[in-house]
Structure 1
Amino acid sequence: EARAAGLHWTFGPMLDIARDARWGRIVEGAGEDPYLGAAMAAAQVRGFQGDDPADPERVLACAKHFAGYGAAEGGRDYDPVDLSEAQLRNVHLPPFHAAVKAGVETFMSAYMDLNNVPAGSNRWLMRDVLRDEWGFEGFVVSDAFAVGNLVIQGFARDGRDAARRALQAGLNMDMASNVYLDNLADLVEDGSLSVAEIDAMVRPILAVKVRMGLFDNPYVDEGLLETVAAEPENRQAARWAAHRSMVLLKNDDGLLPLSKAQQNIAVIGPLADSMEATEGSWMVFGHKPAAVTVLEGIRAKLPGTNIAYAPGPDINRQVPHPFGEFNTSERKPLQTPEEADAAFRTAVDTAKAADLVIMVLGEKADMSGEFASRGSLDLPGRQEELLQTVCAMGKPVVLVLLNGRPLSINWAAEHVPAILEAWEPGTEGGHAVADILFGDVNPGGKLPVTFPRSGGHAPLYYARTLTHLPEDSPRYRSRYWDSPTTPLYPFGFGLSYTTFEFANLQLSAPQISVGESLTVRVDVTNTGEIAGDEVAQLYIHQKWGSDSRPRRELKGFERVTLQPGETKTVTFVLGPDELTYWSTSAGQWLQDAAAFDLWVGGDSTATLHADFEVTA
């Protein structure tokens, strides 16, 4: 669709590893884990670019934001990042390296300071690692206005200094600030830069354009977009992707799937009929009417059912208007307190008249994304108050979440019988939600991020290193006195309408040598009554070594579809790539001779366990 609209280049995929749920741009990436992030990076690059950059149905990918942007202090967008080389290489760089291996043609540098040097002027990143180590042959573009921002960040004296330092660090293209345009010719004229340096920066840009065939055919058929956008398989692909992305967080007493014989359903919540929340944080100028909201999806699924709708109080934020007035976050009318109270009462009355209530709550689209960090992870506005009021009626309640980050839904996790995490599900999101709620699709998605219990618990992620005291110590251990440090929902978690069992864990050998591979097999059985998907996940822990290693690390996953009673054997291979890490002690990539724990299961708390050893 993008290529048909005349675009040749997309600013994605976003590959930043994000372990702080407060950071707004967590919505764009693959979550907290470098192994998962690398797998997603390679898949996205292949999806955007295909096998041939000149393919008229493909666009150039851009791996962003290079690098470490997801570790901004306090989860505040654009704030500085201070990371050791080991953290960079083991956690934040693997997705970018995977993108290079997959053939990505362009990179985008990050805005923030990385270890006191702005990433867009960081020679170590752009030359030493990206080009010299990884062999990247494409070009690097700055984020918008980032070259000019080098002055604001206190790194460059002025625009001339910013242009020279960014170019010499390896930045090929200046996006939007015009600092290159205004200064490079003068810098060559006075000898501060050579023509050879300019040529070296221009050459990769021209080479990418040649590989895309843009000099031969820069045009697009103007009538193509309507044809492509109307193709049913494209809408079906969007619906399929939404199905597989949604995560069932809770389903007490098998409330879901719902019966299609329901007579009176109330759909309640400020996001139930929001095209913006359905499309998500980065729809920008997307065609909003093309989006199917949750309310529309449910009504389309049950055309003969009485489906009442009430949004309740809105959750628009008040924002200052540049001319001294006040506006709302989406430039919509702002409710007065009296109007909000009336909307609350209407929603409650609507729920009272129904046999079943579907609550659609979460975050408005502009509450996630760029410059959209949050200190609190609670449901904004009066949504939780409305949820508690409806649940107190004693009716069956299903909660559908539309949001771009983990939310601290502690009360809902305890009291609401069924919860579906739908994220920002896209154009066909409403249909996809209805398909899952009413049993046409069995959910099988898993969480790519840990859900903390509050914003104060962030950053929280599963792959932490061990502390020096046992976790079961009665007093001296890593914890908070006033709340549990365990996650609300762990990384990799996700339920199904059926159940699964992992058994018969087998290793090809109890011991391998450094440089060899270990084969791991496990049987996965559908022990329920309907077909469903399970994601088998393999985790390891290196018990000792040159450096302390995380308590668990994802090193393999495979999604399998199983009929009732069916068993499939899933095979993983652990080789040097999975067992090597960047060692601070050694200052290099290293595979230790050490003992390992290994677990396989349906999430990061898997208990099916084995041991193996790597010898020198």
Structure 2
Amino acid sequence: MSISKYILFTVLNTIVIYGAYAQHNIPQVEELLQQMTLEEKIGQLNLVTPGGGIATGSVVSDNVEAKIKAGKVGGLFGVAGPEKIKIAQDFAVNHTRLRIPLLFGSDVIHGYKTTFPIPLGLASSWDMELIKKTAQIAAKEATADGINWNFSPMVDIARDPRWGRIAEGAGEDPYLGSAIAKAMVQGYQGDNLSNDKTMLATVKHLALYGAVDGGRDYNSVDMGRVKMFNQYLPPYKAAIDAGVSSVMTSFNDIDGIPASGNKWLLTDLLRDRWGFDGFVVSDYTSVNEMIAHGLGDLQAVSALALNAGLDMDMVGEGFLTTMKNSVEEGKVSEDQITKACRRILEAKYKLGLFEDPYRYIDTKRSAKDILNEENRKIAREAAARSFVLLKNHENILPLKKVIKIALVGPLANNKKNMLGTWAPTGNPQLSVSILDGLKKVAPRATIAYAKGANISNDTELATKVNVFGPRIEIDKRTPEEMLQEALELADESDVVVAVVGEATEMSGEASSRTDLSIPEAQKKLIRALVATGKPIALVLMSGRPMTIPEELALPVSILQAWHPGVEAGNAIADVLFGDYNPAGKLTATWPVNVGQIPIYYSMKNTGRPATSETFQKFKSNYLDAPNAPLLPFGYGLSYTQFKYSDLSIDKEEIGQGQSVTVTVNLKNTGNYDGEEVVQLYLRDVVRSITPPIRELKGFKKVFLRKGETRTITLALAPEDLKFYNGQLDFVSEPGEFEVYVGTDSNVTEKVTFSLK
């Protein structure tokens, strides 16, 4: 059968056919389905990896070439580069009966070769246009290497920083998380998926993966539907509403049924309630893992998954090896297999692969589109905008550019830990170290370096962290020798910049931790440096909120830099020397200790709320720690100061369906130009189910020159007043609302209005 039978006819026909897409009536796809055997349909449901790249699981597919030629593969991942992808695509379009092209997927989580800050860091910019731009660049680079399907964005709400994958998402808040999900989907997919610089996006992980018990990866989740709908599901739905092409299931169970086999989740919610018409892919071997969950053998769990609404099986090959038998035994219907196959073929059609299977294979693009000067410039800007100034003791920062600096710490001259977790396509050796960045930005400064300490002295921890290569390198020198070198350097300098924190793989997938403090080897270094009496700026790198009450109490400044990506050193230098005034804000609450977890700003009042941090018997508080976090959601300082005044609202009473406009005056009262993220929080005072203390419902990032005042306007739409009630209806109820506007989630200034 010639592939020309499936070529798009004209632009006009394309428009007409796309209009029919929502009804699953693409003539070319329907014609192809009529000619496919059951085995060929099942083959399209099989996603495999030949290995050789960065593994995301313990299983690698075998005999991949033979399976492609036999029509038993619908897509590949773990393959990149035009030459390699062309070879694989040749197998599909020149050596199979129906010549159906392959999808080529990859985990492009925070950039491709141009690695941006980890997603938790990018989220801290609160800059939707910037986040969208980073996704566009990632898509442009990945497609230049032949990849047309991305396993991103990860939008799981995470309120437990013990869970390592908090690094991959936007933090704890569904409103902000929804805005970021939309921006990333639009960035990856653009307006036309047949454009060879766009790619299919995949929202993951459906659902609730960020709420695993104990913060332990791949663990169970136990959550009621009201909490799901109000606090955890919104970002997934935002991605669906933005037109995301595919959905990936999570590893956890929901109401006792793993997500990959959960019909309520994949059909009742995703398709029937939300109207999703793309395709659903499992996570890495998650279908097979339902065996360990206790739901039967491979044939049983594969049938369960298909009947639940899963379309594509990643790596496990349970569909490939058992589905024909299940049809013959009446456990699944061929019609269900046809539906799944249709969705995958439609995705290939949307990408234009039937028109040109080699659309994403262009050896000329790699040289000009990947890791070019413009992309690096955006990466540098994105990193600087992601940093959060946690403390500025005696206004140590910004540093002068003519100064004698002792640069110390295990991350200060360490390229291997700049990119962050989940950067398998990036090259750490192409990243800018902090030592190099400081020298470049301040060439007149005298900068001397000493390691000072290992990231950790724990050899067992190092072995676990170094699975993908050395991230924690334990020096041949003794800790005492390294510390002494750093102290001597500090004594000879005007200021100390200490770069400390986590190695990249201390967060991310399969990197759960119960101790979120800075490792003791580095704590000793910090204490000793403080004892010198020198001014100290700590640059803290991590993939999660840390427990740093000791460090925050010390006479030091602290800049949270996450893992900043390929332009790490340049961006950190830009901020330390004041070329950019930090404006990042935390998107996940920082606890005092792990005993407070889960902790997040939108908690509910109890019937016995503590009215202060002073201990009160028979109130909801701890004996040994405060209720309040160390650092609240939305927190972040600046080199300048901002003053809010004259908060007002345009209506004191509204009816259903009406909007409210809130205004506030914002003045830059400090000595530097800078940006402020103006945040609006809403409290529904009385309603039919217990309300959170407050919820984010608006924000705006504003640049003000020193001395400038501006009136900021924020709108509350009718949707912002709604919630899912006990019957899971999305409603707004009459009553009083409180509106808070300010610099973080602890803001106290408010206005009120009522809804009739």
* TM-score normalised according to structure 2 size: 0.78
Which stretch of structure 1 is more off in the superposition, 337-346 or 604-613?
Answer: 337-346
Are 1:603 and 2:744 matched, yes or no? Answer: yes
Structure 2 CA distance for partners of 1:595 and 1:310, relative to 1, 3 Å: same
- Aligned residue runs from structure 1 range 312-323, under 5 A: 312-315=452-455, 318-319=459-460
Residue-by-residue CA offset, 1:200-249 (whole Å, 9 max, x unaligned):
11111111110111222232112311211253211111111111111111
2:343 counterpart of 1:240: no
For residues 327 and 227 of structure 1, the distance between their equivalents in structure 2, rounded to whole angstroms, comes to: 35
- Closer/same/farther in 2, CA of residues 137 and 116 from structure 1, 3 Å limit: same
Rate the CA distance shift 1:484–1:230 in 2: closer, same or farther, 3 A: closer
Structure 2 counterpart of 1:287, from 427, 433, 436: 427
Whole-Å Cα distance in 2 between the matches of residues 307 and 330 of structure 1?
32
Tell me, yes or no, if structure 1 residue 456 matches structure 2 residue 581.
Answer: no
Cα distance in 1 for partners of 2:214, 2:493 equals 43
Question: How do residues 19-418 of structure 1 correspond to structure 2 at under 5 angstroms?
Answer: 19-155=159-295, 157-219=296-358, 220-262=361-403, 264-315=404-455, 318-319=459-460, 328=466, 331-332=469-470, 335=474, 339-418=478-557
Match of 2:667 among 507, 512, 525: 525
Indicate the residue corresponding to 1:559 in structure 2: 701
Q: After TM superposition, give the deviation of residue 253 of structure 1 in Å.
A: 2.1
Question: Which moves more between the two structures, 533-542 or 465-474?
Answer: 465-474
Give yes or no for contact 1:444–1:535 (8 Å, CA) kept in 2: yes
For residue 299 of structure 1, report the CA deviation from its aligned partner.
Answer: 1.6
SS of the equivalent of 1:524 reads: strand
The more displaced of 399-408 and 334-343 is 334-343
CA drift of 1:537 comes to 0.4
Distance 1:363-1:603 versus aligned 2 partners, 3 A rule: same
Whether the 8 Å contact between 1:398 and 1:416 is mirrored in structure 2 is no
Task: Deviation per CA, 1:271-314: give whole Å up to 9, x if none.
Answer: 11222321001112421122112222112112243211112232
The range that moved more, 49-58 or 327-336, is 327-336
Q: Distance in 1 between matches of 2:407 and 2:283?
A: 41
Q: Deviations over 1:74-110 (max 9, x none)?
A: 1111110011101111111100111011110011000
1:9 and 2:130 are equivalent in the alignment = no
Q: 2:677 aligns with which of 531, 535, 539?
A: 535
| Aligned mates of 2:172, 2:560 — CA distance in 1 | 17
Whether contact under 8 Å (1:238, 1:428) holds in the other structure is yes
Task: Considering fraction of residues, name the structure with more helix.
Answer: 2
Task: State the 1:319 CA deviation.
Answer: 4.3
Q: Could you tell me how far apart the structure 2 residues matched to 1:384 and 1:334 are?
A: 17
- Mean Cα deviation higher: 280-289 or 384-393: 280-289
Flag the 1:553–1:230 CA change in 2: closer, same or farther, 3 A.
closer
Partner amino acid for 1:505? L
Q: CA deviation at 1:553?
A: 0.4
Q: How much does 1:400 deviate?
A: 0.4
The CA deviation at 1:417 is: 2.7
CA distance in 2, matches of 1:561, 1:598: 23
Measured against aligned partners, the alpha-carbon deviations of 1:420-449 in whole angstroms (never above 9, x if no partner) come to: 011111111211110000010011110001
Q: Distance in 2 between matches of 1:434 and 1:320?
A: 30
Question: SS of 2:380's equivalent?
Answer: helix
- How many Å apart are 1:381 and its aligned residue? 3.8
Aligned counterparts of 2:383 and 2:269: Cα–Cα separation in 1: 36
1:549 corresponds to 2:694: no
Code of the aligned partner of 1:211: K
Q: Distance in 1 between matches of 2:682 and 2:371?
A: 46
Q: Over the residues paired in the alignment, what is the CA RMSD in angstroms?
A: 1.8
Cross-structure match for 2:723: 581
Moved more, 449-458 or 332-341: 332-341
How far apart, in 2, do the equivalents of 1:472 and 1:520 lie?
Answer: 28
Which AA in structure 1 matches 2:528? T
Q: Please tell me the residue identity of whatever aligns with 2:643.
A: E
| Alpha-carbon offset, residue 468 of structure 1 | 1.2
> Is the contact made by 1:258 and 1:439 (CA closer than 8 Å) also made in structure 2?
yes
SS in 2 for 1:148: coil
Partners of 1:329 and 1:66 in 2: CA distance = 27
| Contact 1:583-1:589 within 8 A present in 2 as well | yes
Structure 1 letter corresponding to 2:391? K
Runs of at least 4 residues off by over 3 Å: 316-321, 325-338
> The residue matched to 1:564 in structure 2 has which SS?
coil
Matches of 2:419 and 2:603, distance apart in 1: 33
Whether the aligned pair in 2 keeps the contact of 1:319 and 1:328 (CA below 8 Å) is no
Question: Per-residue CA shift, 1:336-393, capped at 9, x if unaligned?
Answer: 8962332222222222222211010110001000010110110024111110110110
- Find the partner of 2:622 among 456, 480, 496: 480
Percentage of identical aligned residues: 42
- 2:670 partner SS: coil
1:471 and 2:610 matched? yes
Determine if contact 1:120/1:146 at 8 Å carries over to the other structure: yes
String of CA shifts for 1:567-614, please: whole Å, max 9, x gaps: 222222212211111112x44222111111110001101122111111
Structure 2: gaps (5+ residues): 1-140
For the structure 1 residues 330 and 12, does the alpha-carbon distance in structure 2 shift closer, same or farther, using more than 3 Å as the test? closer
Separation (CA, whole Å) in 1 of partners of 2:156 and 2:695: 18
Q: By how many angstroms is 1:6 displaced? A: 1.1
Question: In 2, distance between residues paired with 1:318 and 1:207?
Answer: 50
Label 1:334 to 1:602 Cα distance change in 2 as closer, same or farther (>3 A).
Answer: closer
- 8 Å CA contact 2:455–2:473 kept in 1: the answer is no
Paired residue type of 2:504: A
Distance in structure 2 (CA, Å) of the matches to 1:546 and 1:522: 31
* Count of aligned pairs: 609
Q: Any unmatched runs of 5+ in structure 1?
A: none
Take 1:275 and 1:115, find their aligned partners in 2: how far apart are those partners? 44
Taking the aligned partners of 1:361 and 1:116, their CA distance within structure 2 comes to: 41
Matched residue SS, 1:147: coil
**Residue 9 of structure 1, CA deviation:** 1.0
Q: Distance in 1 between matches of 2:371 and 2:461?
A: 40
**Is the 2:389–2:560 contact (alpha carbons within 8 Å) kept by the matching residues of 1?**
yes
Instruction: Name the SS of the counterpart of 2:142 in structure 1.
Output: coil
1:330 offset after TM fit, Å?
5.8
SS in 1 for 2:733: coil
Which amino acid in structure 1 is aligned with residue 219 of structure 2? Answer: D
SS at match of 1:218: coil
Q: Aligned partners of 1:428 and 1:336: how far apart in 2?
A: 26
Whole-angstrom CA distance in 1 between matches of 2:371 and 2:275: 40
